[in-house]
Structure 1
Amino acid sequence: MIDLDDFDRRILALLQENSRRTGADLSAAVGLSPAACLRRLQRLRDEGVIAREVALVAPEYRERKVTVFVLLTFERDRPDREDQFTRRMREAPEVVQCYHVTGSADYLLGIEVADLEDYQRFTKLHFYESYVKRFETHVVLKDLMR
């Protein structure tokens, strides 16, 4: 793990808002030369600090237009089932986020589907298992960050 200084943190914050910023944009915002910013950016990528860079597609252009968040609870602690479930969620293209969490549920999932019928098919395929005690679905009505 590498040590990050204030310049690195500011560069990362700016890139989280817009990963297409140029060296000149970063330079103006953080007070380093464009070349220094680009060297730091490359180091952050090489060291794995920047895990990946993705494009956020506008909802009206997405194939999967419905986003749901699911709180899922297992029947009991079963490490073998947890590993199997994790693998299945990683392989499912609908799952865009999967967190093992504390609290009343065991997992929090972010899922994108074409419509609610598609989500119903997904639940039957993945959640109707003997080790799943219950799941609670929250359908996103509006993304307030866009």
Structure 2
Amino acid sequence: MRFRTPPEVKARAGGDRVLAWLPSGASSVVATELALVLPEGSDPVRVPWDLVLRAQWAEGVLDLTAQDGPGGRPKLVQVPFTGAPDVLAGVVRERVNASIVVQDHVTLSGTQGARVVARRVPGSADLRWSVVFDAGLDRRDPELRARADAALAELRASLGV
């Protein structure tokens, strides 16, 4: 059985192909080929898949952790929803995982380090590289930053990019 996408959901998708959606108050949460579109009034309203860091679904609330832009700091957005999130949650998981091309954890100080990740920019052949430091490490420390940059360069060279 196939359901028709309601016109208001299509409008929220901004021309992208709708993959799944759930009601959220007077609006909706919409998964498209390129992004997760959050309910009207959310900040941000649209999160490209390569910026989604984590999505946790529980008791009518989606806890979404996403970067506020390439290289940006993580931001938690709580989004209420109505109904069973199974289909939407599966689409979100698939899209986030599909955006990850490679990831590696590198040691920078003792047992702590950073995760180096290359993610595919939705709708493009471009890769977006990021370095996420473990909790407790200062990403502004010049020595740690130099080690992380060297690890990133080594990983990119090993992949030929």
Say which one has the larger Rg.
Answer: 1
Between Structure 1 and Structure 2, the one with more strand by share is 2
TM-score norm. by structure 2 comes to 0.32
- Structure scoring higher RCO (CA < 8 A, sep ≥ 6) equals 1
In the superposition, the TM-score normalised over structure 1's length comes to: 0.34
Structure with higher helix content:
1
